[in-house]
Every structure is written in structure tokens, then in C-alpha cells.
């Protein structure tokens, strides 16, 4: 009786280990099989590309968030940062008639400032990262709104002076928001951050800091410098997400980046466990985003009414997270 | 020793495995009510695991537990408590709620489990009941004080008091004296004797042999997941116990030193850090091991951290080889050639979630990069592999997680990362705390080896015999000041103790 006891216990142990490692991938495969079996066009090339395109902005933003998670931080302001970048880049074209390079550079500069502000507040005041960036989330959202005067920025919009805006969005900029460029940008970001976190000393330092900040400090790692770097990277990638969003939509809507925050958070947290890494990682985040993308896409294909979609989406996310984090409880 | 089964706790053939490690292989253990039982063994011998099994922390062991001769099924902490088994772990802070009062912390079991059908907390009753328990234990701590304001020793007392609110028959104390001062230890022992006289069986885990003779009747010695000896402690000498623990003959604990110190290399002048360090000056010669003696709380740790820049910018002046050092952070300190092995191993010394290799290379990462920042896994593995062999770390390979290693091996890794860094000044803060005898000897060898290579070593320890056996010179700290400088050859344990306790020589 005793041997069967341990046998079962051991098997349970391994099953949850296995689920921890492969749960996310398994869920993705299951969803694909289910959608493939129940719809006609799910498995077509165009649809798969559709899915990748639809998750690219979330993935870019979530990858930045992943870097802030790696140092044990939590950048909740990524959505707002994306809004800022989106507003700045579109306004540069529409209001000021600037060329492509200037617009993108201006947006990234704005995000650099955002990242530095976040980093300084978080490292100087010893306030929990999540609370501090929750505060800055509102601040930057407000700044983006104030900058755009609370309105959508688009071509031919009416300016406060009563004239029409004459600036045009460059053709090459719109390309960034289309296939294949939008997918290529996403893949480059994921790959670059993956290499950075796993194969450079900077990434190693970040994981060390995330694992045990005190030991990292006493090992001679300049902890605050790397936390600053992480927040700057997070803001720049959020900004890139915002720029691509602007390119895709062709205008800067009010709070355009805000809806991406929660999906980015979900993708990054689902990503923790992918292949048993146990820490925030870029490939995992990508898998998390794919999971969310496949789900949204499949639900649309199944003609689930839009107002009920969030119920199913939330439920599946909860299940995915339950599988990944169940092990933590034993 | 063998009576009827009444009042007897028996564990038979306990085995348990974790991924990659057979932690216990058929261990037997017996404890009796009203007696204190010493459980001793090198780190990694399995004593903590055995006690965790008893406390219900692991459900997947094989073997049986009997209490009063009856089978006791213990698979969860709740089972263990139901059978009257309580544990006070070494990390007392994990079991207490710091922002609640002493009374609430003591009565926590009652507050959690016996509030069925009741919704209002009667504060008067809580504090009266807590006061009654403390009174029974002859401990005086105000029950309305917040736990975060207590000293470590007082927190232990609170946990013991909490255990006593239930029908506690066997109390496991996991290295309770490690962080305590002399006076606090005596207070704890008074309490243990009182509990014994009230019929509680005590299981006492400790690395300090002398105190076991003072407080325990029985002893069980473990090695490599098995019990290797048991009996009454008065029948065993310290020498025998150590031999059982190590499994081999025990020769001279401290390494023989042959080198003679050279010129003064490292100097610190008038180091100050708030009211923790009140102006300390010291120097270390090349190849010299300098002891920093003093009781717990004398400011040794704070001085070590201040020297290493870990307390931010502190007042004072550091010189290495005649050059002034600007040390405002550990980062600066490491670049200047300083290394600190901190006191709190798990919190400050190692990254438990990371691999052995990542832990060993963390202080020297730029050495293993190509093209600026790209890490070379091969070079890292090579360096870590060499260090694992040199330190004798017991690990399957460099990719094992440090969390799965024993305390002594973790400490070796915390030291090893600095050996790779090849610093000039090595600061050790209680490096043998909570480390078994075998690993202790390895650590002494490492320290002596550093001195032999001409490095400066500052060795802070509250264990006087260690200071006597290992150092060339000693600074004694008391209340944040260095009160005495002594030549180790010309002093005695008694003299160091005298100055450590604030006494003044003639």
C-alpha cells in the first residue's frame, strides 16, 4: 500500500512537472486542433499570417515588459508609453510634415525619457515597481492625451486654428504596419531580446538581479544601473509597439496603447513557464502572445459574438495560467 | 532508555527522494517525552529533511511514524500538529506576522482554527491567554508589542509560546542557538529545561557540540541520509561525535599556517556608519589573517558591509597598497579588489534559483565574454568546473540549481565566486555559520590558502575558538567600536571573551 502511495505521488510529481514545461505549448496545440476541426479556414496560410500579424503589436510591447520583469520589476506603464509614441510619431507627420526618420526618432526619444523617468522613480524612491509604474501609467496616459488635445490625430484633421492639417503620413511608414514587415519587426524584437537576455552578460546580470537583488549587489553588480537599463528597454520597445500601431491604423487614436497592457501582461506571465524556464523570457512571451492570438482568431472564426468573447478568452487564459502555476503550490 | 511505547515517538525506515537526490535512505529515529534529543550531522546529512518529514512538510516519503506505539499518519503539517508535533524553524521571521502583536502571533493557531461560528475577536481574551502562556514559560514579553519590534531571541520565544498553545508533545528546535548571544542562549536553555520538566519531548538540532551536552540527554548522529549512531550523550565524547559525523578520523581542525605576513596592504581609518559602527580603524598586512571578534550585535557585520560599500557612502578612509580607494558601492569595492562573503548566505550570498555555474561566475562575468558582451558557455563551464573540483562542492554538475545543495556547499559557492575574482582583500563574515564540521575545515583551508598567496583576509566571527585557531591578529569589537587589538599567539579565549563583553583588562 505504501509503495503504491509513493508511486502515485511520484507520477503526480512528474505529470505536473511536464505540464509546467509544456502546458502552454500543449494549450496552443489543443486550441489549434479544436479550431481546425470546427472551422473551414482556420488552417489556411492567410489565416496563420493573420494571427501573427494580429499579435505582433502585443508581442513587441510584451517583450519589453518581459525585460522589466527580468530584473524583478514590473512596468505597468507600457500601454501608456505606446500611446505616447503613437501620438508623437503620427503628429510629427501630420502636424509638422516631418520625414519618416525624424518622426520615429522623436517618438523613440519621448519613450527614452519615459523610461528614464520610470527608472529614476523606481530606483530612487524604493517604492514597489508595480505601484510606481501604476502612477506613471496615468501620468503618461494623461500626457499623451494632453499632447493630442484629447482627440484622434489623423491626416486632414482640423487643427485648433481651424485649418486642415496638411502633413501626410509617408508611404514607407504605413509599410511598417503591413505584412510582412510588421511580422518581421516582431520576430526581430523577440529574437534580439532572447539573445540579449540569455547570451550576453547584461542579460545574465538582469536575471541575477531579478533572482536576488541583495546578492547581486554584494556580487558587485551595479544593480540600479541595470534596473535603469531594463526600464529604458521596456519603454523603447513599448514605444516601438506604439509606432507600429500608428503605422497599422494610420492615425493616433485616444489612448491607443492602453488595451495592449493587459494582454501584454498575460502573455509575459504565461511565458514564465514555457519549456520550464521559470523566469520571464522572450520566447515564452512570444508563445504566450501566440496563445492569446490563436484564441481570439479562432473565436472570431467560430462566430462567437464579440460581447461574449472576453468570457471565453479570460477562461482559457485562467486555465493556461492554472496549468503553469499549479506546480508552485506543492 | 527503552521503556514501554507510551510517550515514545518512533520513526522507522524513513526514505525520501527529490529530483536527483536521495535525501534519506531508511533513517530510524526515536525520541521520548520529557527528554531532549540532540540530532546532529554534517550539512546535507538529512537531519532537516528528517524533521520536515516529521513535521508533515513532505507527503511523499516511505516508512512509518509511531507515537505511543500507535501508527501516526503524517503527510501534511496539519497531521503533524494534530499529533502534537511542533517545529520552530531557524528562520523565525517566516513563521511570524511582523505587523501584528505578540499576543495575536502567539494565539494564531486558535485565531485561525477555533473561530468557527464566532466572528468577533475578543482582544481582551487573546492577550490574557497569550499572557498566560508566556507566564507558564516564565518569559516576559509585553503581549501588545508588535513582533517587528522584537529581538531575534524574543521572536523564538514567541514561536515556542505559540507551539505551547496547542497540545504540543514534541517540539523540534532547528538550530535555535545559531543566531543567539550567550545570554540569550542561556535564557533559551532555561525554557527548554522547563518544557522538559512539563513533559514535552524536545528534538534539538545544532552544530555547537558543547551546548548539546548542557541541554540534551540523548543523541542521534546522521550522515548521508542515514543514522550512523545513537545513544545517551553522556556516553559519547565530542571527539567521537565528530568522528561519527565525518565518518573518518578527525585530525587538527585548523590548517597549519606557514607563511609570515608581509607589509601593510589594506588600511581603514575611522569608519563610521550611524550608530552601528562608531569609528573603527584597522589594517591588514599582505598574507595576514586578521580576526574580527565580538558578540552578535557588536557591529562586526555592519563594519564588514561598510568596508565593502554595501551600506552606501559611509564616513572614513580606505587604502589599498598606499592608494586611496573610493568605495561608494559594492560595485566600486569589487573593482578596487575587495571581496565580501556575507553572513546571510541564502539572502545575500547565493542565487538559489540559478545554476551552480551562474553563481560561481557572477562576479567575474566579463572574463567569459567574446566580442564585448556575448557569454561563452564553454568558458564559463570550464571556470566553474575547475572551481567545483577545487572547492569539493557536492553537486552532480554545474547545471544543478543551488537551491538543491546543502548549506555547506552553498557557502563554498558563495566563497568560490570570489576565488575566481582574484581579489586582494577578502572579507569573511561568519563564513562557517550553520555549516557542518567537514565543510568548516574546507573553508578554513581556503582562508589559509588565500593568506598563503599573499592576500589580506579579514575574518569576522563570534566563535572565539575559530578566531584563536585561524588568525594572526585579532580586533575585538564591542558596541560598534574596536576596543582592543590582540596578537593571537599572545592572547587567550578568555581574554577575547572579556573584551567582547565590554570588560576592561588591567
Task: Confirm or reject contact between B423 and chain A (CB < 8 A).
Answer: no
Task: Confirm or reject contact between B260 and chain A (CB < 8 A).
Answer: no
Q: Which of A264-273, B32-41, B89-98 has the lowest mean pLDDT?
A: B89-98
Task: Find, in chain A, the residue whose alpha carbon is nearest to that of B365.
Answer: A201
Cross-chain CB nearest to A200 (options B310, B333, B374):
B374
Contact list, A229 vs chain B (CB under 8 Å):
none
Contact list, B362 vs chain A (CB under 8 Å):
204, 208, 216, 219, 221
List of residues 6+ apart from A66 with CB closer than 8 A: A193, A197, A268, A271, A280, A281, A282, A284, A285
Closest chain A C-alpha to B102 CA, distance in angstroms = 28
pLDDT over threshold 90, residue B296: no
What integer pLDDT is reported at residue B314 of this predicted model?
Answer: 76
What integer pLDDT is reported at residue B1 of this predicted model?
Answer: 41
Size of interface A-B (CB pairs under 8 A): 80
Cross-chain CB nearest to A202 (options B61, B352, B373):
B373
Q: Do B358 and A220 touch (CB under 8 A)?
A: no
What pLDDT band is residue A3 in, cutting at 50, 70 and 90?
Answer: very low
Interface of B with A in 286-325 (CB under 8 A): 308, 310
Task: Find, in chain A, the residue whose alpha carbon is nearest to that of B332.
Answer: A220
What integer pLDDT is reported at residue B394 of this predicted model?
Answer: 85
What pLDDT band is residue A11 in, cutting at 50, 70 and 90?
Answer: low
Asked if domains B8-246 and B264-337+423-506 share a fold, the reply is yes
Q: What is the pLDDT of residues A92-129, one digit of tens each?
A: 999 999 999 999 999 999 999 999 999 999 999 888 89
Closest chain A C-alpha to B138 CA, distance in angstroms = 38
Q: Do A200 and B335 touch (CB under 8 A)?
A: no
Task: Confirm or reject contact between B347 and chain A (CB < 8 A).
Answer: yes
What integer pLDDT is reported at residue A329 of this predicted model?
Answer: 44
Q: Considering just the CA atoms, what is the radius of gyration of chain B in Å? A: 24
Task: Confirm or reject contact between A126 and chain B (CB < 8 A).
Answer: no
Contact list, B61 vs chain A (CB under 8 Å):
6
Task: Find, in chain A, the residue whose alpha carbon is nearest to that of B417.
Answer: A219
What pLDDT band is residue B185 in, cutting at 50, 70 and 90?
Answer: confident
Q: Do A218 and B349 touch (CB under 8 A)?
A: yes
Task: Confirm or reject contact between B366 and chain A (CB < 8 A).
Answer: yes
Contact list, B329 vs chain A (CB under 8 Å):
217, 222
What integer pLDDT is reported at residue A324 of this predicted model?
Answer: 66
What integer pLDDT is reported at residue B187 of this predicted model?
Answer: 86
Closest chain B C-alpha to A278 CA, distance in angstroms = 9
Closest CA to B194 of B154, B135, B126, B107: B135
Domain ranges in chain B? 8-246, 264-337+423-506, 348-421
Q: What topology is assigned to A28-329 in CATH?
A: ABC transporter involved in vitamin B12 uptake, BtuC (1.10.3470)
Task: Find, in chain B, the residue whose alpha carbon is nearest to that of A211.
Answer: B351
Separation between Cα atoms, residue B455 and residue B471, nearest integer Å: 13
pLDDT over threshold 50, residue B353: yes
pLDDT over threshold 70, residue B116: yes
Could you give the 3-state DSSP secondary structure of residue B66? strand
What pLDDT band is residue B252 in, cutting at 50, 70 and 90?
Answer: low
Contact list, B342 vs chain A (CB under 8 Å):
215, 218
Contact list, A2 vs chain B (CB under 8 Å):
62
Average predicted confidence (pLDDT) for chain B: 87
Cross-chain CB nearest to B62 (options A2, A202, A208):
A2
Interface of A with B in 41-70 (CB under 8 A): none
Instruction: Answer for the pair B223, B244: CB distance below 8 angstroms, yes or no.
Output: yes
Q: What topology is assigned to B8-246 in CATH?
A: Rossmann fold (3.40.50)
Domain B264-337+423-506 in CATH 3.40.50.300? The answer is yes
Closest chain B C-alpha to A52 CA, distance in angstroms = 30
**Average of per-residue pLDDT across A30-55:** 89
Separation between Cα atoms, residue B303 and residue B288, nearest integer Å: 19
Closest chain B C-alpha to A124 CA, distance in angstroms = 13
What integer pLDDT is reported at residue A26 of this predicted model?
Answer: 86
What pLDDT band is residue A187 in, cutting at 50, 70 and 90?
Answer: very high
What pLDDT band is residue B105 in, cutting at 50, 70 and 90?
Answer: very high
Give A145 or A159, the one with higher predicted confidence.
A145
Q: Do B375 and A215 touch (CB under 8 A)?
A: no
Contact list, B353 vs chain A (CB under 8 Å):
211-212, 278-279
**Average of per-residue pLDDT across B290-313:** 88
Amino acid at each position: 500500500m505504501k509503495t503504491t502511495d509513493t508511486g502515485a505521488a511520484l507520477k503526480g510529481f512528474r505529470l505536473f512537472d511536464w505540464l509546467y514545461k509544456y502546458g502552454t505549448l500543449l494549450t496552443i496545440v489543443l486550441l489549434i486542433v479544436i479550431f481546425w476541426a470546427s472551422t473551414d479556414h482556420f488552417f489556411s496560410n492567410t489565416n496563420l499570417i493573420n494571427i501573427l500579424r494580429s499579435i505582433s503589436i502585443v508581442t513587441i510591447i510584451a517583450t519589453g515588459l518581459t525585460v522589466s520583469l527580468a530584473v524583478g520589476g514590473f512596468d505597468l506603464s507600457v500601454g501608456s508609453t505606446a500611446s505616447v509614441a503613437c501620438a508623437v510619431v503620427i503628429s510629427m507627420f501630420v502636424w509638422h510634415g516631418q520625414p519618416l526618420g525624424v518622426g520615429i526618432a522623436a517618438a523613440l526619444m519621448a519613450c527614452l525619457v519615459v523610461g528614464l523617468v520610470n527608472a529614476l522613480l523606481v530606483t530612487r524612491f524604493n517604492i514597489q515597481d508595480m505601484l510606481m509604474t501604476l502612477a506613471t501609467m496615468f501620468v503618461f496616459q494623461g500626457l499623451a492625451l494632453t499632447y493630442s488635445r484629447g482627440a484622434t490625430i489623423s491626416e486632414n484633421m482640423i487643427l485648433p486654428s481651424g485649418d486642415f492639417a496638411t502633413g501626410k503620413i509617408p508611404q514607407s511608414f504605413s509599410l511598417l504596419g503591413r505584412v510582412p514587415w510588421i511580422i518581421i519587426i516582431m520576430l526581430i524584437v523577440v529574437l534580439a531580446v532572447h539573445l540579449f537576455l540569455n547570451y550576453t552578460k547584461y542579460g545574465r546580470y538582469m536575471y541575477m538581479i531579478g533572482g536576488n537583488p541583495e546578492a547581486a549587489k554584494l556580487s558587485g553588480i551595479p544593480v540600479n544601473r541595470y534596473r535603469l537599463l531594463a526600464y529604458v528597454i521596456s519603454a523603447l520597445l513599448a514605444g516601438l509597439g506604439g509606432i507600429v500601431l500608428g503605422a497599422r491604423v494610420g492615425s493616433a487614436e485616444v489612448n491607443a496603447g492602453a488595451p495592449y497592457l493587459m494582454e501584454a501582461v498575460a502573455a509575459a506571465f504565461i511565458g514564465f513557464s514555457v519549456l520550464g524556464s521559470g523566469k520571464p523570457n522572450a520566447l515564452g512571451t512570444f508563445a504566450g502572445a501566440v496563445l492569446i492570438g490563436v484564441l481570439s482568431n479562432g473565436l472570431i472564426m467560430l462566430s462567437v459574438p464579440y460581447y461574449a468573447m472576453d468570457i471565453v478568452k479570460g477562461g482559457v487564459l485562467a486555465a493556461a495560467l492554472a496549468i503553469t502555476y499549479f506546480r508552485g503550490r506543492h | 532508555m527503552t521503556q514501554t511505547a507510551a510517550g515514545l515517538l518512533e520513526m522507522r525506515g524513513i526514505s525520501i527522494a527529490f529530483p536527483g537526490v536521495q535525501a534519506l535512505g531508511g533513517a530510524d529515529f526515536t525520541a521520548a517525552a520529557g527528554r531532549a534529543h540532540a540530532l546532529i550531522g554534517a550539512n546535507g546529512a538529512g537531519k532537516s529533511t528528517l524533521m520536515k518529514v516529521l513535521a508533515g512538510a513532505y507527503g511523499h516519503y516511505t516508512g512509518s511514524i509511531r507515537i505511543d506505539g500507535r501508527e501516526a499518519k503524517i503527510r501534511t503539517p496539519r497531521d503533524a500538529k494534530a499529533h502534537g508535533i511542533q517545529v520552530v524553524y531557524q528562520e523565525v521571521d517566516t513563521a511570524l506576522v511582523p505587523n501584528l502583536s505578540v499576543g495575536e502571533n502567539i494565539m494564531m493557531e486558535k485565531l485561525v482554527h477555533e473561530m468557527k461560528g464566532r466572528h468577533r475577536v475578543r482582544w481582551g481574551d487573546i492577550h490574557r491567554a497569550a499572557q498566560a502562556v508566556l507566564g507558564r514559560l516564565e518569559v516576559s514579553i509585553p503581549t501588545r508589542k508588535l513582533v517587528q519590534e522584537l529581538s531575534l531571541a524574543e521572536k523564538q520565544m514567541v514561536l515556542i509560546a505559540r507551539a505551547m498553545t496547542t497540545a504540543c508533545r514534541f517540539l523540534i528546535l532547528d538550530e535555535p542557538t545559531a543566531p543567539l548571544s550567550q545570554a540569550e542562549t542561556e535564557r533559551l536553555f532555561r525554557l527548554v529545561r522547563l518544557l522538559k520538566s512539563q513533559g514535552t519531548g524536545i528534538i534539538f538540532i545544532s552544530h555547537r557540540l558543547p551546548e548539546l551536552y548542557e541541554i540534551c540527554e540523548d543523541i542521534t548522529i546522521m550522515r548521508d541520509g542515514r543514522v550512523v549512531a545513537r545513544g545517551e550523550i553522556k556516553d559519547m565524547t565530542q571527539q567521537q561525535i565528530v568522528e561519527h559525523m565525518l565518518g573518518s578520523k578527525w585530525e587538527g581542525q585548523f590548517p597549519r599556517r606557514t607563511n609570515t605576513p608581509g607589509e601593510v596592504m589594506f588600511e581603514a581609518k575611522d569608519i563610521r556608519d550611524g550608530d552601528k559602527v562608531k569609528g573603527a580603524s584597522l589594517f591588514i598586512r599582505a598574507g595576514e589573517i586578521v580576526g574580527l571578534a565580538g558578540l552578535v550585535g557588536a557591529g562586526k557585520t555592519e563594519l564588514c558591509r561598510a568596508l565593502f560599500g554595501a551600506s552606501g557612502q559611509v564616513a572614513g578612509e580606505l587604502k589599498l597598497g598606499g592608494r586611496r580607494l573610493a568605495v561608494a558601492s559594492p560595485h566600486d569595492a569589487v573593482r578596487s579588489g575587495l571581496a565580501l562573503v556575507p553572513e546571510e548566505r541564502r539572502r545575500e550570498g547565493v542565487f538559489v534559483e540559478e545554476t551552480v555555474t551562474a553563481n560561481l561566475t557572477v562576479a567575474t562575468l566579463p572574463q567569459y565574454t567574446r566580442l564585448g558582451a556575448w557569454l561563452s558557455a564553454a568558458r564559463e563551464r570550464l571556470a566553474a568546473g575547475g572551481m567545483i573540483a577545487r572547492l569539493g562542492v557536492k553537486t552532480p554538475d554545474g547545471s544543478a540549481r543551488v537551491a538543491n545543495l546543502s548549506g555547506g556547499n552553498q557557502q563554498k559557492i558563495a566563497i568560490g565566486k570570489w576565488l575566481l575574482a582574484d581579489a586582494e582583500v577578502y572579507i569573511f563574515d561568519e563564513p562557517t555559520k550553520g555549516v557542518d564540521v567537514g565543510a568548516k575545515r574546507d573553508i578554513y583551508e581556503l582562508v589559509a590558502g588565500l593568506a598563503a598567496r599573499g592576500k589580506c583576509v579579514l575574518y569576522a566571527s563570534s566563535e572565539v575558538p575559530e578566531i584563536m585557531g585561524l588568525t594572526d591578529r585579532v580586533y575585538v569589537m564591542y558596541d560598534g567600536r574596536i576596543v582592543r587589538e590582540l596578537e593571537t599567539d599572545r592572547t587567550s579565549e578568555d581574554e577575547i571573551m572579556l573584551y567582547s563583553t565590554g570588560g576592561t583588562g588591567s
